[in-house]
Chains A and B, each alone.
Chain A
């Protein structure tokens, strides 16, 4: 069940990131807001603000004094103090504020540093190749549901040391957490229960059979000589799963969707492998999947707006990435763009901890796809559907490969 909502007539005063028009193609909306507002307002979700410019997004992302990360996914309910163990937050470190944030972040960063991440490349390459082998011979394959959607869950499952057969379950969890934003609060709480139970069961299983994985690492980790709180262990595991799956899946899907419609870019990428590092960053900039959220800590004037305590801020990194005030030809995809300070992985202290892994998966997924299919095109443009909510990406991409 979802709450019935009125259609949006003006995104400047009544924005809704789950509105069908926004979900289908948000870029013209953001271009318009950037010129008109540039901070849009809504009474929906209990009240919130959407800065559409790079300057506005940077100001919020770098200001942890006036904004809290206590909750980073907008929903119909406000987080209650007692539901969020301070100072950890439900999914540390993404939901943590300074000073605890830095402690929780330093704990997990080494696992996502280039060394350990790059060691996964052969595994990811063989995973991609196996997925393509499964649909070999078909004239039309779905670049999302046959390919992209399987890559990140498989990688994350191995990092956390979760059972082989549970991948479908992960996608379901992620769907509940990220896409159920229009559901009533009670229903969301009810749907969270099995997710918490699943992670608890994994922790218990790891307690019995400790092994070399991130779950065991978190269970043994210490802060100032003390083991982590149980909610901290489970919260970070949930974060790794949620943040590591449909974000990267979306980036892979959007990139292949782009190449399927732009044969000149596909041809250059096939013939000029040196372009790949620049192409990856342009895919990330132009189709940045992730929009974050913050909460206003106290009533204040900010960016010319009268913000109230607990108002949401929808932190549109994808909108900032297309702001012509900071980038030439910001509205164009330029596959060999050499200067690209995009914010696809955020800005400031909450820079995506998994960015090295995401880049690796994205690059290998594209390399393997174009190696097998140096020419392909969109089979059915109208069949492409996009995920709603704060992670944007195509969920169905029928591609003709022969």
Chain B
């Protein structure tokens, strides 16, 4: 599975990189970034799902890699 952030939706609430710093980082404006290629192992998937469920802008999606 792979996680992506829709940069057009992200407004920098910072929920993803706070809850799941192993999966997400941020740019110089504080907007969320997926670290690496976004391909998730089991632990990463759980963290990414937590972040997805807490993003107020619905900017995170998880799908087949």
Contacts and interface: CB of A to CB of B under 8 A. Distances in A.
A320 to B, nearest CB: 10
A275 B20 CA distance: 14
A360 to B, nearest CB: 10
B53 interface: yes
Interface residues of B, number: 19
Contacts of B26: 113-114
Contacts of A359: 14, 18
A347 B56 contact: yes
Interface string A328-345: 000000000011111101
A351 B13 contact: yes
B30 A114 contact: yes
Contacts of B50: 338
Nearest to B10: A351
A109 B12 CA distance: 9
B35 to A, nearest CB: 14
Interface of B: 11-15, 17-19, 26, 28-30, 50, 53-58
Interface residues of B: mostly helix, strand, loop or mixed? loop
Interface of A: 106, 109-110, 112-114, 277, 281, 338-343, 345, 347-349, 351, 355-356, 359
Given A281-B54, A339-B53, A351-B12, A110 B19 contact: no
B3 to A, nearest CB: 17
B29 A341 contact: no
A114 B56 contact: no
Contacts of A281: 15, 54
Contacts of A112: 30
